[in-house]
Amino acid sequence: DYGRKSDTYMCLADIAMLQGNAALSMQLERYSSAYKDSLYQSRRNAITDKIVEAEADAQVTLQQLYYKGRLNMYLYIFIPVIIIIVIIVFFLYRKK
């Protein structure tokens, strides 16, 4: 876990500074910063992935709604046309 490693390196840097080893303290602080950057990057990637997934789900939902709307429109047109054709054919055969 990047957060734990970052905190650990920062504690070690503090200990090194208290012991008077400034060079080691600076090196450990750089390691801590690197792990913090990795932590922020991983969180940012997770958030970005969730946003992309939500956008994809929204797009799929919109496509489904569009498809259902078009299907209903075709059914509302198709059924009355078929009924009218059946009535016309019925009257034409009835006259004969």
**Could you report the per-residue pLDDT of 42-83, keeping only the tens digit for each?**
888 888 889 989 999 999 999 999 999 999 988 999 999 999
* Residue 96 pLDDT > 80: no
* Residue 1 pLDDT > 90: no
User: Could you tell me if residue 66 is inside a domain?
Assistant: yes
The identity of residue 72, as a single letter, is: N
DSSP string spanning 34-67?
HHHHHHHHHHHHHHHHHHHHHHHHHHHHHHHHHH
Interatomic CA distance for residues 12 and 4, integer angstroms: 12
User: Could you tell me if residue 25 is inside a domain?
Assistant: yes
Whole-number CA gyration radius for the chain: 35
Interatomic CA distance for residues 30 and 12, integer angstroms: 12
User: Could you tell me if residue 12 is inside a domain?
Assistant: yes
Burial of 31: CB neighbours in 10 Å, binned 0-12, 13-18, 19+? middle
Range of the domain at 66: 2-71
In tens, the pLDDT along 30-43 reads 999 999 999 888 88
What's the domain count of the chain? 1
pLDDT at 80: 94
pLDDT at 45: 84
pLDDT at 81: 95
Q: What angle do CA 75, 76, 80 make, to 5 degrees?
A: 105
